[in-house]
Amino acid sequence: MVTKLKITNAAKAKKYFQDKMAFTTGPVELERMVAQGQPVHIVDVRGAEDYAEGHIPGAVNLPKDQWTDAKIVKTRLRRNRINVVYCYSHVCHLAATAAIGFASKGYPVMELEGGWRWWKDNDFAVEK
C-alpha cells in the first residue's frame, strides 16, 4: 500500500506548531528549566503505586482518582507556576486529559512529551 501525502494548509500548520511549543516541553528542556530555577511545578498523574516505584525528582503525585477532589487538587497544583504534567509514555493521553481539566480550573499547564518512559529510558535522574 502506498501512502499518499496531502499538502496541508501552511497557516494551520504554523498555528498548530506554535500552540504545541507553547503547551508542551521535552525532558531535556524540563531538566534545564528546573536547573535554572524556572517557575515549574512537576505533576505526575500516574497511579500512586507507579509514582512510588520512581518519578521525576520533585514531582508531586496527582492520580486520576483524585482530580475531582478540590481540596487535593488545590494542595498539589500551583497557580503561580507552570504545572508540567506527565503520564506513562508518549501514547498515554492521561497527561493531556489532566491538562485540559487543570487548565479549565485556571491552572497554568504544559505537558511533558514522552512522559515517564522517555524520562527514565534516557537516564534522567529518578527519585523514589
Q: Tens digit of pLDDT for each residue in 74-113? A: 999 999 999 999 999 999 999 999 999 999 999 999 999 9
Which residues sit opposite 75 in a β-bridge? none
> What is the model's pTM?
0.91
Output DSSP code: residue 127: B
Q: For residue 38, what pLDDT is reported?
A: 96
- pLDDT value at 57 more than 90: yes
Q: How far apart are CA 102 and CA 26, in angstroms?
A: 20
What is the secondary structure of 16-79 as a DSSP string?
HHHHHHHHEE-HHHHHHHHHTT-SEEEEE-S-HHHHHH-B-TTPEE--GGGTT-HHHHHHH--S
Please name each of the domains of the chain with its CATH number: 25-121 (3.40.250.10)
Nearest to 76 by CA among 30, 36, 112, 107: 107
Instruction: Tell me the average pLDDT across 21-38.
Output: 96
Q: For residue 2, what pLDDT is reported?
A: 84
Q: For residue 119, what pLDDT is reported?
A: 97
- pLDDT value at 15 more than 90: yes
Q: For residue 3, what pLDDT is reported?
A: 84
Q: For residue 7, what pLDDT is reported?
A: 80
Q: What proportion of the chain, given as a percentage, has pLDDT over 90?
A: 94
Q: For residue 12, what pLDDT is reported?
A: 92
Nearest to 114 by CA among 28, 32, 19: 28
